[in-house]
Copies of this chain bind each other. A is one copy, B any other.
Amino acid sequence: MVMSGDPAMNVPTGLSRWTGFLLARAHQRAHALFQDALAPLELTPKSFGALSVIKDRGPLSQAALGGTLRVDRTTIVAVVDELERAGYIERGHNPADRRVHSLGVTAAGSDALRVAERAAGASQDDLLAGLHPGEREQLQALLARITQ
Contact = CB atoms under 8 A, between A and B. Distances in A.
A146 B134 contact: no
A143 B49 contact: no
A23 B137 contact: no
Interface string A83-108: 00000000000000000000000000
B137 A4 contact: yes
A144 B22 contact: yes
A74 to B, nearest CB: 18
B147 A10 contact: yes
Interface bracket on A: 35 or more
Contacts of A140: 4, 17, 19, 22
A31 B136 CA distance: 23
A40 interface: no
A27 interface: yes
A115 interface: no
Interface of A: 2-8, 10-27, 29-31, 33-34, 45, 49, 52-53, 55-57, 68-69, 120, 123-124, 127-128, 130-131, 134-148
9 contacts: A10-B147, A12-B49, A12-B69, A14-B52, A16-B144, A19-B124, A23-B27, A128-B146, A131-B142
